[in-house]
Amino acid sequence: MDSKVMDVLGDRVLELGPKAAEKPGESGPYRHFRLSQDSDGIAWLLFDRAGASANTLSADVIEELDLVLAALESQRPSGVVIRSAKTSGFIAGADVNEFRGAGDAGAVETAIGRAHVVIDRLEALRIPTVAVIHGFCLGGGLEVALACRSRIAIDGARFGFPEVMLGLHPGLGGTARFTRLVNPVQAMTLMLTGKTVDARRAKSLGLVDVVTQERHVRNAVKDAVFGRLKRAKPGVLNMILNASPARGFLGSRMRREAEKAAPHAHYPAPFALIDLWEKHGGGKAAMLAAEKTSFANLVVTPTAQNLIRVFFLREQMKKLAGGGNKIGHVHVIGAGAMGGDIAAWCANEGLRVTLADMKPEPIAGAIKRAADLFGKIIRKRTGVRDALDRLVPDMEGEGVRNADLIIEAVPEKLELKQKVYAGLEPKMKPGAILATNTSSIPLQDLRSGLERPERLVGLHFFNPVSRLQLVEVVSHDGSDQEILKQALAFVGAIDRLPLPVKSSPGFLVNRALTPYMLEAMVMLDEKIDKLTIDAAAKKFGMPMGPIELADQVGLDICLDVGDMLRSKFGDALPPTPAWLRDKVAKGELGRKTGKGFYVWKGGRADKGPAPEAQPTPEMTDRLILPMSNVCVAALREGIVDHADTVDGAMIFGTGYAPFRGGPLNYARSRGVEDVVSALRALAQKFGDRFTPDAGWDSFK
């Protein structure tokens, strides 16, 4: 049991429960809960899910909670406090494992109905109930808290409903209780976006009654139990906004906003939530009943099942990092867009970082971008200051001598990178790792000339570094396995997802993305409007079209990567149009120069009016299917070991339509035979670049 939690229990602890109190040192009558009573007659219910680092709500946990509530009803203490005994937080939400593979909406609704009965029983207790919340309080955890009469937050706690990220909405009564307690517009916004709020914001919303420090919890609990705590209560505005006319008007507006962010055809959950509130928000009982049905219908959709799969892909990739990070000081060479942002992210994650470049201007620009980033993602000013203190400009490059990890992020030129290595390798301390952020050059080429090639690894980050979670950890046939292990641990330590890949031109992600972007340029040659091309990809579910993506990446980088991959794969790639070289020669490189295929203003592409021509299914297949084809090839060649990590890499590194579960999962759901047949038809019409890879024969 957490010692801090024990400290607030007071001087006398009495066991409660359906059987006699256990002797000291025994586990108590429950598997997941500890129930005790202090000298004030207050029962303390500590949730400590067995065998887990974080509390989640599963069917057996809910069933045991029902037994606990029965004991409390018979014992009638002066009040009940629900706390977590986990240091990580209150409750992380439902046990997502129980949703995986669900196919029968009726069975899901029955199971959810049983859980509703228990949460309703908690709400109906005739004694004061208090949730004391530290750390995270998410999803089902917040629904438990909402069923309590009072909520006390420890400073630093965070609250939210992330269910929308799984293609769902709250399902344990949260939709009804949240929209009644809190301004329904604000409540709906939080549920529709999945965003979290801190304890102070939760207090201002009326979600919690008080924010306090751990040392004051006992007094706050006594105030809540004995009626001295001023509880947050819904205002008149809540009643007005929950009335039928307001719900109709606000629901229509919410749908329009939701459609912009996540089309109904791809992501039904936000629209189901809006429907639920608009139709049933006037009555709590009706909304609770409708919530069960709506939730059950969502769980069995392909979108929810694929997003649940993505959730587990993330967890699976986190485990690839292992543990035991030994990197404390990172030295980054090259303060451009990638190098500067890698340096900033490492500093944000608590590492000491020295940042070197040939000129002071790029370093100054990188520090400014870092300050902007820290201001957005770090809540406290002192935290921003500390992160900037960890990011040290280093014009002389002296940080190399003490760094545990050196990351080279200079332009994508083999000779330049090798020249950099020749200068820094003699300065590196024993045991230091040399990493390259190359996006396409094989490590076998980069390592020539190194005295110790075994300590060279690839750490390929994706742009923007602060948003895209993937880092390709690239090995070559002479890699030191211990260094690779350390590199994986470093990626995990900076809160990124590592993908182990073997060195090959383009590795996995760029090799798969390049035909996506080059095929779009071939379409431009065919006089297809760029807006129509981008619309074809977005209609499929990609976060942006290939033309806009090429501008984001930089047309010079697209050209370099395309040339590198064509030298290896030849006719397997679309041809590079001559006019692309002309655009690069003129300095029209995309977003970074303000002009590429689009004109860029304020970091956004100026697209003008919507295209007149509508994208066709053939356009979509020309863009999307080559990605699946390349992923199968990389799997067959052993560049990546597992199909699941291929899908995870494409989702977390490129934003590949998450609701489709990744390019290989999409091929499975569409049908491998159908995909191969479509590729053959495209090859016959457009050329050999669409020829199905031999790996499809054994792919399942």
Residue 42 in 3-state DSSP?
Answer: strand
Tell me how far apart the alpha carbons of residues 84 and 241 are, in angstroms, rounded to a whole number: 34
106 is catalytic: no
Q: Are 598 and 608 in contact (CB under 8 A)?
A: no
Specify whether the CB–CB gap between 552 and 544 falls below 8 A: yes
User: Helix crossing, 284-299 with 302-320: angle to 10°?
Assistant: 70
Q: Give CA–CA dist 541/658, Å, rounded.
A: 8
CB within 8 Å of 263: residues ≥ 6 apart: none
* Residue tagged active-site, from 64, 163, 291, 519: 163
Amino acid at 586: K
Q: For the sheet with 89-91, list strands across it.
A: 89-91, 136-138, 158-160, 196-198
CB atoms within 10 A of CB 450: 16
From the CB of residue 445, how many other CB atoms can be counted at a distance below 10 Å? 15
**Closest to 644 in 3D by CA, of 626, 615, 668:** 668
DSSP string of 186-209, one letter each residue: HHHHHHHH--EEEHHHHHHHTS-S
Strand ranges across the sheet with 150-154: 14-15, 33-37, 42-47, 79-84, 129-133, 150-154, 210-212
Residues 6+ apart with CB under 8 A from 570: none
Nearest partner of 195 among 167, 166, 171, 161, judged by Cα: 161
Q: Residues of 603-638 as b/e, b for ≥16 C-beta within 10 angstroms?
A: eebeeeeebeeebeeebbbbbbbbbbbbbbbbbeee
Tokens 């009072």 locate to 150
Q: Which pairs from 315-320 meet CB under 8 Å and 24+ separation?
A: 316/644, 316/645, 316/648, 317/497, 317/498, 317/499, 317/645, 317/648, 317/652, 318/492, 318/497, 320/488, 320/492, 320/497, 320/498, 320/499, 320/500, 320/645
**Short-list 507, 504, 546, 542, CA closest to 524:** 546
Look at strands 497-502 and 352-356 and give their pairing: unpaired
Q: Which of 64, 109, 143, 548 is catalytic?
A: 143
Which one from 140, 141, 399, 648 is the annotated catalytic residue?
140
Task: Give the number of other Cβ atoms within 10 Å of residue 135's Cβ.
Answer: 20
**CB atoms near residue 236 (< 10 Å):** 7
Q: Is 94 labeled as catalytic in the residue annotation?
A: yes
Which residue is catalytic, options 43, 92, 94, 634?
Answer: 94
Rounded CA-CA distance 261/383 in Å is: 31
**Residues with catalytic function:** 94, 140, 143, 163
